[in-house]
Amino acid sequence: MKKSVAIYSRKSKFTGKGESIENQIELCKQYIDNAYDKESIELFIYEDEGFSAKNTFRPQFQTMLQEAKKKKFSVLVCYRLDRISRNVSDFANLIEELHQLGVDFVSIKEKFDTSNPMGRAMMYISSVFAQLERETIAERIRDNMYELSKTGRWLGGTTPTGYTSESIERVSVDGKLKKACKLKIIPEEAQMISLIFKTYLDTGSLTKTDAYLIQKKYKTKNKKYFTRFAIRSILSNPVYMIADQEAYRYVIDKGMNLFSEEKSFDGKRGLMVYNRTQQRDGRAHRVNSMQEWIVSVGKHEGIITGNDWIKVQELLSINQSKSYRKPRSNTAILSGVLICGNCGDYMRPKMSKGYTENGNRSFYYLCNRKEKSHGDCCNMINLNGNNSDAAIWEELCKLFKVNTYFIRQMESLYQSFERNKKEHISDLVRLKKLMKENEKEISLLVNALALSTESTANQYILKQIEEYHEKREQLQKQLEEAEAQNNKNEASDTELSAIVSCMFDATTLFDKASVESRRRMIRKLVKKAVWDGVDVHLYYDNEVQEVFPSN
């Protein structure tokens, strides 16, 4: 009888040197040949190259887990423990899951084999040291940041608007010539930064600041118009703050890690902040709490006084804390699809005060750039929203009868909805399972803490409990979002099923579809809609074009 064996290999960078994917697999094969009868082995290989061991969200690793659940193999072999994970929690969960599935785990470098109790125990101990090594590396990086912060250097990367980077040389204590970088001010860009801060302080609004910059035709370093996101990023960047006494008091009051003396806050130079953001693979960078910031007075010239920078932060905080206001609903179905044929910006719906004969609120489509610039950057005439939406929707409904492309697209939309619904249900089940596992892990750690008498072990266990609690909070939030989405899907299911079932009857389709359903179908069918001031041009995914007169 054949024995099914799987090999898993991972390397953070694409390289053929050292412990490359090929070398790992070859060494694992040699082990398998010596441990089992060569003729009776059925081999499966999973490779993840270019992925770190920070977490287990790797494509081939996840495929391997799914196939382990299907009993595709009974032994998993890897070259070394850290090829799987350097996180104790992830590693322990994997070993436990493999054990429940009846899959033995072998690490050939450490000579660990989970087919016996001692092998499992030694593996857990090794995984603890692997995580300790990772945390030690992270601590060394933080220590290095502390040392760098004392120099006030620019560490490289994309320079903030208002500055460029220049190289400076200095003689070290041992007489060697060393190079470093500092920020050098660009006068015209610095003036623009001052204007952005002043406009925001005057208006108290990112939207109004954005509109003002467009009206005055100010652009970013990449020659693009500013967005609210870009403006907010500038306003919240402490690199612009002049190191004066207000700045010093703010840094101290917020509990930041300051590596400059009070006398260095001379009212001229700017601040350098290290460890401000946490970079995460595949996700947006997270801003660390101010208590984690490492601050020093830089070698560059500041632009914004401490008092003004602090006022801006207070305004940003107030605006962010305002309760979310749901935008006024409208019947526009071309939102996010309709483009201005003059400047290429999106056209958004805007309500009028009047009503149509049917009692619906009148609205029109207005070029986003035209509105923000008050007609200086674009002068495209507005489009009657009620008339254009009705005409386009009616024509699209008629096309369902004669064009199989649209029928296929509608069927695809419905199938996509069904798939998404199943995925949401599956996600809901998965999150509930993870919550139970999380509670179990916390309970085990609490019991271990009660039995432990060593202070060093207690600290480690408490840290693990804290991490599990943080993970629990994240899971709870995800679970609430998944349940809300599931309820929304159930409400939409009946309506969408009715629409698809009567797809060949344009009148019924038109009557039954809600505004949200029409928007969803428009976005599925139409690649883009372009308003040229006379007609609306619809472009479909298969490059078919239809022209609809505005009247």
64-73, 131-140, 413-422, 478-487: which range is least confident on average?
A: 131-140
Produce one character per residue of 137-170: b if its CB has 16 or more CB atoms within 10 Å, e if not: eeeeeeeeeeebbebbbbeeeebbbbbeeeeeee
Is the pLDDT assigned to residue 309 strictly greater than 90? yes
* pLDDT value for 127: 55
377-391, 440-454, 528-542: which range is least confident on average?
A: 440-454
d(CA 521, CA 389) in angstroms, rounded, equals 13
Number of H helices, E strands in the chain: 15, 19
Q: Distance of alpha carbon 243 from its chain centroid, rounded?
A: 33
CATH number of 3-144: 3.40.50.1390
Which residue, among 263, 266, 288, 267, has the nearest Cα to 277 in the 3D structure?
A: 288
Is the pLDDT assigned to residue 498 strictly greater than 50? no
d(CA 226, CA 211) in angstroms, rounded, equals 9
Is the pLDDT assigned to residue 74 strictly greater than 60? yes
Is the pLDDT assigned to residue 179 strictly greater than 90? no
Whether domain 187-321 has CATH 3.30.70.420: the reply is no
Distances (CA, A) of 441 to 92, 437, 460, 473, 503: 10, 6, 14, 14, 51
Residue holding tokens 């945390």? 135
CATH topology identical between 3-144 and 187-321: no
* Confidence bin at 147 (pLDDT 50/70/90): low
Asked if residues 106 and 77 have their Cβ atoms less than 8 Å apart, the reply is: yes
| pTM for this model (two decimals) | 0.47
Q: Give the contacts of 59 (CB within 8 A, at least 6 positions apart).
A: 48
* Confidence bin at 240 (pLDDT 50/70/90): very high
Asked if residues 52 and 12 have their Cβ atoms less than 8 Å apart, the reply is: yes
* pLDDT value for 4: 92
Distances (CA, A) of 340 to 260, 536, 538, 546: 52, 10, 12, 16
d(CA 382, CA 385) in angstroms, rounded, equals 9
Read off the tokens for 320: 């962010």
Q: Where are the domains of the chain?
A: 3-144, 187-321, 394-549
* pLDDT value for 38: 77
Percent of the chain with pLDDT over 90: 19
Asked if residues 343 and 275 have their Cβ atoms less than 8 Å apart, the reply is: no
* pLDDT value for 323: 43
* pLDDT value for 146: 54
